[in-house]
Amino acid sequence: MEKGKTRILIAKVGLDGHDRGAKYIAQALRDKGYEVIYTGIRQTPEDVVKAAIQEDVQFVGLSLLSGAHNQLFPRVVQLLKEKGAEDIVVFGGGVIPRDDISFLKSQGIKEIFTSGTAIDEVVEFIEKTLRNAAG
């Protein structure tokens, strides 16, 4: 799939007001040729899912630093399923303890990127996911 046609929503869920990392990821993915929508801070899972469906994205990237990732990230996946949009791939990032990653993946989060992850790793994840979806 052509990068310019790949749409990605980057969202800050919960009460976390720090969005420097999310803005960095959004801009870096734009610089790599993707269409990126950034929702801004303090989004509910319901807001994120509504925006993802309205914007017809293939990916949702969730960012959280406040520690509520085990509740909020799976809620986004659950709501996408309820809305018939389980084909949207959800990944997450932020300050997430390594011990929580396996739980998040078991809840449908396809990948977790911790602080300091190189943007090329995120791009490789997106491209590999697109290749796998194409068959």
pLDDT at 1 over 50: no
The two tokens of residue 22 are 């999310």
Convert the pLDDT of each residue in 4-16 to its tens digit: 589 999 999 988 7
Residue 26: is its pLDDT beyond 70?
yes
What's the predicted TM-score (pTM) here?
A: 0.94
| Domain count across the chain | 1
CATH of the domain at 108: 3.40.50.280
Q: Give the contacts of 130 (CB within 8 A, at least 6 positions apart).
A: 1, 6, 58
Domain boundaries, position 40 = 3-134
Which SS3 state, helix, strand or coil, does residue 79 take? helix
Strand ranges inside 83-126, DSSP E: 89-94, 111-114
List, for residues 72-105, the tens digit of each pLDDT value.
Answer: 999 999 999 999 999 999 999 998 999 999 999 9
